[in-house]
Structure 1
Amino acid sequence: MKRYFLLLLLGTLTTLLDPSVIYAQFGPPGGGPGGPGGFGGQDTRRKKEFTGVAEETPKGNGKIAGILVDSTSGKPVEFATVALINVATNKPIDGTTSDAKGQFSLTKLAPGDYRLQYSFIGYKTRDSQKVTVVKGTDLNLGSVKLPADVRTLGEVVVTGQAALIEEKVDRLVFNADKDITAKGGDASDVLKRVPMLSVDLDGNVSLRGSQNIRVLINNKPSTIVAANVADALKQLPADMIKSVEVITSPSAKYDAEGAAGIINIITKKNTLHGLTLNVDAGAGLRASNLGLNGSYRQGKLGLTLGGFGRAGYNGASSTLDQTTKVGGQTLRTSQQGTAFDKPIFGQYTLGMDYDLAKNQSLSANVRFGTRNFIQQQTQLTNTYANEVLRNMSNRDVDRKDLSNSVDMNLDYIRTFKPQQEWSISTQYSRTGLTNNFYADILGQTGELTSRQRNLNNNTNQEFTIQTDYQTPIRKNQLLEFGGKAIMRQVDSRFQYQLGGSTGELVFDPTNPSGSLLYNQNIGAGYISYTYVTPSKYTFKVGTRYEHTGITAKANENTNLNIPAYSNLVPSINVSKSLKGGTTVKAAYNRRIQRPGLQQLNPNVNTANPQMIMVGNPNLSPELTDNVELSLSSTVKKTYINASVFGRLTNNGISQIRIPSDTLAGAIITTFQNIGVQRTVGTNVFFNTSITPKWTVNGGIDAYYVYMQGLTPGADGKSITISNTGVSLGGRLMSQLQLDKGWSAQVFSFFRGPSPQLQGTMGSFYMYSVGVRKDVANKRGSIGLAAENFAGGVTMRTTLNTPTLSSVSVTNLYNSNVKVTFSYRIGKMTFEAPRKKGRSVSNDDVKGEGDGGGQPQAAPAAAPAGGRPR
C-alpha cells in the first residue's frame, strides 16, 4: 500500500511539473509585455481570455506553418508563443510554440479569417496580417522576423550617457566598468564608490553600517573571503570587475548568512567568438599592477585564462594613549609607531564551458589566489603606574600574513522548457593561511636584548553540493525549490618561541602552543514562490531551513561543547510599479551570521603587546531581522532612490576590549556575543545627466544604532553597558566624456565617526581625479589618476569602559599618482549568450572587518527566480 501511494504521489508530481501538462491546462508561457500569456500584466483583457484554448475551436483540415527568426542575427527563435486569433471575435482560439529550429505549425484548422500573434521574452510582440484559410489549404508563411525589445522587465535603468547605477527588483547594480579612476586598483577601490557601502582604511566593507555581510565573487564563495574579506578584495583587480550587486533583502534561494545583506562582485565575461588577449598594466607611487587575460571560443567550447599581480608599498604612523585599571592599579601606556607595508597579491583563473546538447551545458572553473603581506613596524612604548615611569620598551617587528587559496567548481544545467530548468553544482575550496611575526626587543640604548616569534598556521577547506529546480505554474507564478550541503573544516595551530640576543629560538612556556580543529556541517532546503498580479504587484515569498552541526577540539583532545542549532528563515519581497517609471518596494527577511575563521582562532597575537588579538572558538551565531521600504523614480534626467531600513540583531558578534591581567597596560581585543543591536537608517542617492556627456551622481547614508552588551567592570564582574550614536556618510562622483576619445572623472567619499559598543571609530575620507584617452580605435587606453594628492588620511578612534580608556590616531600616507595602460589583441565576433551552469554560492560565514537573487518583475524574464549564475 505504501509503495502504491508513493508511486501515485510521484506520478502526480511529475504530471504537475511537466510543462506540456501545464501548457495544455493554462496555455504556453508568455512572451513580451502584453503578449498572450504575458507575465508583465500590460494587457489584462487578453491575459484573462487566453488561458489555453479560450473557446471551442472548429475543426477542419487547414494548416498554417512558418519559421520565427531574430530580425538582426537571423537565428531561430526557440519556444516563442504563436497565438491563433479569430478576426471576427478578436479572441485566441488556438496556439502553439516554436521548436528548437524556430519552426511552428497549426493544423486541423477550419475555414475562416485569422490573425497570428507572435511573442517571446526579449522580443516585441508582433501581429500578422489577416490570413484566410479555405478548405484543404496549407499556408507556409516562410520566415517571420521578430525584432528585439529593448525594454527589460522589472528594472528601472538610470538615464544618462552611462548607466552607472541600475536598480532591479531585489538589488542595486553598480556598473564598475564605467569608472575610470579605480583602474589599476583592486576590488576595495571599486566598492568605495558603490551606494550603501563603505570601506575603511583597512579594507573592511560595511553595508548600511554593518560589517555582517557576505561577499561573493561571480556568485561563488571562497575560503579566503571567509577568512578575511579585506585581504580577499585586494587579490581581485579592479580592471576585471564588471559590476557590483548589493542585495539587501536576499530571497530564500540564498544561504541565510549575511545579517545586513550580500555583495556580489561580477567580473568581466564575454560572449565573443574567436581568440583574444587583453593586457592591463599600471604603475604608481604606492602600487603597480600587471594583468593578462585571454579567451577562446569555437563551436561548443569556450576557454578563459587569466592572471593578475599587484605590488604595493605604503607607509603609516600611529600614536596610542591608553589607560587600564587592573587590581586597583591604574596603568597608562603611551606608544608611538611606524609601519611600512609591502603587499603582493595575485590571482590566476582557468575556466571552461561546453554545450553537451542544445538544452544542456557543463562549466568548470579553477581560481588560484595568493597573498604575501609583509609589514615592518617599530614600536616605542612607555608604561606608567600612577604617572610614574615603570617600563620602556623598543621593538622592531616583522609581520608576515601569507595565504594560498584554490577554488574549483563543476556545474551542470538542463533546460526543459522556458522557465523550467534543473541544475546541480559542486565546489571545493581550500585556503592555507600563515600569520606569523618576529620581534627584536631592544634596550634603551638600542642594543638587542631578546627575540620573540609567533607561528600560526591555518587551513580552511570546504566541499559543497547543491541542486535547484524551478518551474512555472500557470502564466504568472513561479515555483522554486532546492537543497544544499556544506562540509567545512578549520584547522589552526600556533606556538610562541623565545631567544636571547644570539642562539636558537626555543619554546615559550609562558605562551603555550595550542590548536583548534573545527568541523561544521550544514544541511539546507528552501522553497520560494513568485506571483505577479495583473495590477503589476510582484510578490516573492519563501522560507529556508538550515541545520548546523559542530564538533570542535582544542589542543588535540579537549572537546568544546558547541551545540547544534536549526533555523527557519522566512523572506518576503513585494514590489509595485507605478506610473511614470516609479517603483515601490518593501521587504522583510531573517538572517544568520556565523563566526568566521579569524573570530574563532584562539591564537594570542602579540605582534603589538599593547594591543593583543585573540579569537573565541565558543562563539554562537547571531540572528537578525531586517525590514526595508524603498522608492525609486526618474524625474526628467535625474534618477532618485530613497530607502529606510530597520535591523534588530540578537546575540550579536562584536569586538570587545578588556585589560590584560598578564601584560601591564595592555588591551586584549576579542569577540563575544554581546547582546542586542538595534539600527534604523536611510539611504538616498541620485544620478543625473547635466548634458548627454556629463553625469553627476552621489548619495547620503545615515543610521542610528543602539547597542547593549556585557563588559568587565572595575571589580572584575561583568556589567551591562550600552552605547548609541549616529553615523553619516556620503559620496559624490562626476564623469565627463570629451571629444577624440578623452574622458575625465572625479570622486570623493566621506564617512563620519561610527559608534561601537565601547567607544567610537574615527571618521575618514578619500578623493581621486582621473583622465583617460582611448587609442587604436578603442582597442586600448592610457590613463592618469591621482588619489588623496593633497595629503594622507588621519583617523582617530576612542574607547571608554569602566576598566579602560584609549585614544589611537593613525596617519596613513596613501597619496598616490598612477599611470594605467590597457590593450586588446585579437579579432572577435559576437554570438548569442550561452546558458551556463549554475554555481555554488556559500554566503553563510561572517567576515572580519547575483547575478540574481529575486526574479524580475515577471518570471517570464527568463531565467526567472535568478539563481546566481
Structure 2
Amino acid sequence: MKLRLLLFLFTACVIKAQVSTAQQFSISGLVKDEKGKAIALATVSVYKTVDSVLLTATATDDKGRFSVNLNAGVYYLAVTFLSFQEKKISNVTVDKNINLGTIVLQETVKQMSEIVVTSDKKMMELKLDKRIYNVSQDVSNIGANASEILANIPSVTVDPDGNVSLRGSEGVRILIDGKPSALTGLRSTDALRNLQGAMIERIEVITNPSSRYDAAGETGIINIILKKNKTRGFNGNFTGTVGYPSNFSGAYSINYRTQKMNLFSSFGSNYRQNPGNGSSTQKFSSADTSFMYNQTQNRTRRDFSLNFMAGIDYYISSNATFTGSFLIDGGRENNLNKLLYEDFNSIGSLTGSSERIDDETATERDTELSLNLTKKFPGEKEREWTTDFKWTNSGEKESSDYSQTFSDGTKPLSQRSGNPAYEDNLLLQTDYIHGFGKDGKFETGLKGTIRRITNEFLVEEQDVTGNWITLPAFDNNMEFTEQVYAVYGLLGNKIKDFSYQFGLRGELTIMRTGLIKTNEINDRRYANLFPSASISYAIDEKNTLQLSYSYRINRPNFRNLTPFADFSDDRVYFVGNPNLNPEFTHSMEAGHLLEWSSGSLLSGVYYRYKTGVVERIRTIDTVTGISNIIPVNLATQKELGIEMTFAVTAASWWKINSTVNFFRAVANGKYENTELNSETVSWTNRTTSRMTFFKDLDFQASVNYQSPRITTQGKTLAIYSIDLGLVKDVFKGKGTLTFNVRDLMNSRRRRTVVDIPGYYSNSDFLWRPRQMTLTLNFRINQQKIQRDDDDDNNNIDG
C-alpha cells in the first residue's frame, strides 16, 4: 500500500514538473505606422536569441494587434510589412505574460508628388535547381505572346509549328502556376500563342526536377507564372499593342486587397494576321523509275483569341488561406493555305502542275476551375499542408474545305474534313511539409489526375454527281483516357556547408486508346518508381557546387497517338501512332554557381540516357510520291552537354546576359529492319545586351542561334535571328512605351533535309515574317516592376 502511494506521489510530481516545464506565456502588442494608423497583416516573427532560429510567426489582425504563446526563454522579435522598415525588438525575456505596447513602423521610402519609385528585378535569376526569367525585363518580350516569349528563353527553342524544346528535346513539361492547365492541354501550341505575354509574371526553367514534381517531362519543366499581385488596395497594369503585320492586342492585370481577402483578375485579347511561305523539293528514285516535284506554299493565318481569369484569396486566419479562381479561354482561327505542285520526269522536264487550296476554320474554348487551401502551423518551422483541386474542360472544332485544280485538264477535286476534339481533366492533390531541426525538412504528397479526350475525324470527297462520299481510311472516332496516380516522399537537410535532398516518387499510369468504329482498343498499364537525389556544397559565399540525379518519363501525347492525318497536303501526311510507348530518361547534372557583386556565372555538365526515344520517321511510296510521317519508339540515345549562363553588369548603364549550350547526341535504332543511327554535335546561344541612355531610354539587342543538327534520316540546318527593342518611360513613370522589331533579318526559317535510300528532300519555311510592334503599358498604384509579396500559391505541384 505504501509502495503504491509512493509511486502515485512520484508520478504526480513528474506530471506536475512536466506541466510546469511546458507552461507557456504570451507576448502581445500593437503595430502602427507613423501616423498612428493600425497596420493589419504585418508579420511578427519570433527568434531564439541564443541561435537565431525562427521559432514562430504570426500576423496582426485588422486592428494591428498580435499575440503569440511561448515557453519561458529569451527571444527577439522582427516586425515587417511591405514598404516599411523592419523593426527589431531584442532581448525579450519571457517568464510571464508580456505586453510590448505600441510598435511603430517607419516607411522605407517617402514619395513626393513629383517622384516615382521604381525597383528593378534581374532579367535572369540563377539558382542551382532552377533558372528564373523575369520576362517583363526583357524588352523583346513586350507585346509578345507566350510562344514568342518561350522562344526568347535560353536553352528553349520553339519551332515554326509551335513545338517547344528544352536543350534540343521536345520532352519538356509545361505548367501554368505550377499545375497542368487548360492553357497547355488539348492544343498546347495554339494555346501558347493565344496567351498574352502581358499576363505573364515570370518563367521558371527546372532542368533536373526532384521527386516533388511530376515525373513527366524527360528534359525538365517549364513553369509559367501568371501575374497576381497582392499589394493592399487597388492596383492594376494595362497593356495595348499595335503592330505590322496586323497585330492588335490588349490586356490587363488588376487586384484589390482588403484585410480579409484579395480579389484578382486578368484579361488578354489578341487579333493577328500572319503571312507565311515556304518551298521544298522532293526527289524519288528506284530501280525502274525516278521523278521529282517542287512545292511552293503561301499561308495566311488569322486568329482572334481572348483569356479571362478571376479569383479570390480569402484569409480564413493568419495561418490559413483559401484561393479560388476561374478561367475561360477561347478563340477563332481562319487559315488559308495555298500549295503549288510542279512535277518533273527523270530528265527534269515539267510534266504537269496542280494547285491545292486548304481553307480551314477552327474554334476553341477552355474552361478551368481551381481551388486551393493552404494551412500553416504557427510555432512550428516550415510546417504546411496544402490541398488542390482543378477541373478543366476544353473543346476544339476544326473544319476544312479543300479544292485542287490540275494543268492537264483533270476534273477539279473537292474535299472537306471535320475534326472536333473535346477534353475533360480532373486533378486532386494534397501535400504536407514538416520542418525539423535547424534546416531539415520532410515532404510527402498524393496526387491523382484523370484525363479523357474524344476526337472525331471525317474526310469526304465530292463525286461526279455532286454527292459527298466518305473516304474510309479517314473516318473514325478516337477515345483516349489517361489516369495517373502518384505518391512521393522527400527528405532534405543541411550539415554545415553541405545540403542534401533525397526523394522517391511512385506513379501508376492507366491508359486506353480506342478507335471506336473499327473496334481497335489499346490498353496500357505501368507502374514506375522515380528516384531523385541532390547534393550541394557551399565553398564560400560566392561559390556553390551541386550534383543531382533524376529518373523521368515522357508519356506519348494525344496528338502523337491519334492516327488521323493532317489532310492539308495530300502528298505528305502527318499521322499518329496508337502503339507508342513512353520514353524513359536517366538524367545527371553537375553544376557550379559563381556570384559576385556585378554578375553571376552558372556552368554545368549534364548527361542523359534515354530509352524508347520517339522520332518522326518518313516512309515513302515511290509510285505515288506520297510520304507518311509517323512517330515511332525508334532508339536509345545518349546525350552529353555543357551549358553556361552568364549575367554581368558591365557598367551602370549596360547589362549583358548570355547562355550557350553545347551537346553531343548519339542515337541507335532500327525501323522495319533498317538501321537508323545518328551522331550530332550541336550548340545554341542567346545573347542579350541592354543599354540605358538618358536615364529612362533603354535599347536592347538580342541574338539567337541554333546550329545544324544531324537526325536519323537527315539534318536540320541552322536557325538564327536578331531582335531589337527601344523602351521609354512616359506619363511621369506611370507608363512605358516600347517599340520592337522581331527577326530583323527575316532569318528565323526552318530548313530541313531528308536523305534516305530512294528519297531526297529539302525544305525551307518561314512561319512568320519580320514583325514590328508598338506597346503602351500603363500602371495604376504600381511600381514599374512590381515584386511579388507572396509566392506561396505559385509553387510547382508534387
The verdict on a shared fold, with TM-score over 0.5 as the criterion, is: yes
8 A Cα contact 2:231 2:789, kept in partner? no
Partner of residue 339 from structure 2, selected from 365, 379, 387: 379
Post-superposition offset of 1:708 = 2.0
Post-superposition offset of 1:660 = 3.8
Q: Cα distance 1:812–1:517, how it changes in 2: closer, same or farther (>3 A)?
A: closer
Written as runs of structure 1 = structure 2, the 5 A alignment for 1:71-470 is 80-83=45-48, 102-103=66-67, 116-118=75-77, 128=90, 142=101, 162-286=121-245, 287-324=247-284, 329-384=289-344, 386-387=346-347, 392-417=353-378, 418-444=381-407, 449-470=412-433
| CA deviation string 1:526-567 (max 9, x = no partner) | 11111111x222111111101111233213461423331111
Q: Cα distance 1:141–1:508, how it changes in 2: closer, same or farther (>3 A)?
A: closer
Q: Could you tell me how far apart the structure 2 residues matched to 1:537 and 1:192 are?
A: 36
Other structure's SS at 1:579 match: coil
Partner of 1:472: 435
| CA deviation string 1:791-820 (max 9, x = no partner) | 454432001223432111224551122111
| CA deviation string 1:151-186 (max 9, x = no partner) | xxxxxxxxx965111122421101112122221111
Q: Could you tell me how far apart the structure 1 residues matched to 2:779 and 2:691 are?
A: 24
| CA deviation string 1:238-264 (max 9, x = no partner) | 122211100011111111100000000
Post-superposition offset of 1:753 = 1.4
Q: Determine whether 1:676 maps to 2:676.
A: no
8 A Cα contact 1:278 1:822, kept in partner? yes
Partner of 2:666: 706
Post-superposition offset of 1:76 = 7.4
Q: Cα distance 1:582–1:781, how it changes in 2: closer, same or farther (>3 A)?
A: same
Q: Cα distance 1:829–1:168, how it changes in 2: closer, same or farther (>3 A)?
A: closer
Partner of residue 618 from structure 1, selected from 579, 589, 606: 579
Partner of 2:615: 654
8 A Cα contact 2:128 2:593, kept in partner? no
Q: Determine whether 1:596 maps to 2:557.
A: yes
Q: Could you tell me how far apart the structure 2 residues matched to 1:570 and 1:192 are?
A: 31
Q: Determine whether 1:630 maps to 2:598.
A: no
Q: Could you tell me how far apart the structure 1 residues matched to 2:786 and 2:289 are?
A: 74
Partner of residue 665 from structure 1, selected from 622, 625, 636: 625
Residue identity matched to 1:83: K
Q: Give percent identity, aligned residues only.
A: 22
Partner of 1:857: none
Instruction: Decide which moves more: 689-698 or 302-311.
Output: 302-311
Q: Cα distance 1:310–1:138, how it changes in 2: closer, same or farther (>3 A)?
A: closer
Post-superposition offset of 1:467 = 0.9
Q: Could you tell me how far apart the structure 2 residues matched to 1:675 and 1:606 are?
A: 28
8 A Cα contact 1:705 1:755, kept in partner? no
Partner of 1:724: 679
Residue identity matched to 1:209: G
Partner of 1:733: 688
Q: Could you tell me how far apart the structure 2 residues matched to 1:77 and 1:204 are?
A: 45
Partner of 2:699: 744
Q: Could you tell me how far apart the structure 2 residues matched to 1:674 and 1:125 are?
A: 63
Q: Could you tell me how far apart the structure 1 residues matched to 2:735 and 2:499 are?
A: 43
Give unmatched runs, 5+ long, in structure 1: 1-52, 86-90, 110-114, 150-159, 713-717, 839-850, 854-866
Post-superposition offset of 1:68 = 8.9
Q: Determine whether 1:523 maps to 2:482.
A: no
Post-superposition offset of 1:756 = 2.2
Other structure's SS at 1:177 match: helix
8 A Cα contact 1:70 1:77, kept in partner? no
Q: Could you tell me how far apart the structure 2 residues matched to 1:821 and 1:96 are?
A: 47
TM-score (norm 2): 0.86
Q: Cα distance 1:813–1:797, how it changes in 2: closer, same or farther (>3 A)?
A: same
Post-superposition offset of 1:488 = 1.0
Residue identity matched to 1:789: L
Post-superposition offset of 1:720 = 1.9
Post-superposition offset of 1:773 = 1.8
Instruction: Decide which moves more: 401-410 or 608-617.
Output: 401-410
8 A Cα contact 2:237 2:777, kept in partner? yes
8 A Cα contact 1:362 1:836, kept in partner? no
8 A Cα contact 1:64 1:141, kept in partner? no
Q: Cα distance 1:121–1:334, how it changes in 2: closer, same or farther (>3 A)?
A: same
Q: Could you tell me how far apart the structure 1 residues matched to 2:131 and 2:474 are?
A: 49
Residue identity matched to 1:360: A
Q: Could you tell me how far apart the structure 2 residues matched to 1:555 and 1:130 are?
A: 73
Partner of 1:770: 725
8 A Cα contact 2:721 2:745, kept in partner? no
Partner of 2:7: none
Q: Which has the higher contact order (CA 8 A, sep 6+)?
A: 1
Other structure's SS at 2:507 match: strand
Partner of 1:20: none
Q: Could you tell me how far apart the structure 1 residues matched to 2:650 and 2:733 are?
A: 25
Residue identity matched to 1:214: R
Q: Could you tell me how far apart the structure 1 residues matched to 2:30 and 2:784 are?
A: 23
Partner of 2:536: 575
Partner of 2:10: none
8 A Cα contact 2:297 2:337, kept in partner? yes
Written as runs of structure 1 = structure 2, the 5 A alignment for 1:36-47 is none
Post-superposition offset of 1:751 = 1.0
8 A Cα contact 1:498 1:508, kept in partner? yes
| CA deviation string 1:813-866 (max 9, x = no partner) | 51122111122346899999887885xxxxxxxxxxxx446xxxxxxxxxxxxx
Aligned length: 757
Post-superposition offset of 1:626 = 0.4
Q: Cα distance 1:357–1:812, how it changes in 2: closer, same or farther (>3 A)?
A: closer
8 A Cα contact 1:161 1:694, kept in partner? no
Residue identity matched to 1:291: A
Other structure's SS at 1:166 match: strand
Residue identity matched to 1:201: P
Instruction: Decide which moves more: 669-678 or 375-384.
Output: 375-384
Partner of 1:13: none
| CA deviation string 1:442-501 (max 9, x = no partner) | 121799712011211111221111111111123321111111111111211111111158
Post-superposition offset of 1:144 = 6.6
| CA deviation string 1:19-64 (max 9, x = no partner) | xxxxxxxxxxxxxxxxxxxxxxxxxxxxxxxxxx9xx9999x9999
Q: Could you tell me how far apart the structure 1 residues matched to 2:738 and 2:661 are?
A: 31
Post-superposition offset of 1:581 = 1.5
| CA deviation string 1:60-82 (max 9, x = no partner) | x9999564969999667767334
Post-superposition offset of 1:95 = 11
Instruction: Decide which moves more: 494-503 or 815-824.
Output: 494-503
Residue identity matched to 1:221: P
Other structure's SS at 2:777 match: strand
8 A Cα contact 1:457 1:493, kept in partner? yes
Partner of 2:469: 506
Other structure's SS at 1:313 match: strand
Post-superposition offset of 1:436 = 3.4
Q: Could you tell me how far apart the structure 2 residues matched to 1:164 and 1:531 are?
A: 30
Q: Cα distance 1:401–1:573, how it changes in 2: closer, same or farther (>3 A)?
A: farther
Post-superposition offset of 1:130 = 9.6
Q: Could you tell me how far apart the structure 1 residues matched to 2:668 and 2:595 are?
A: 41
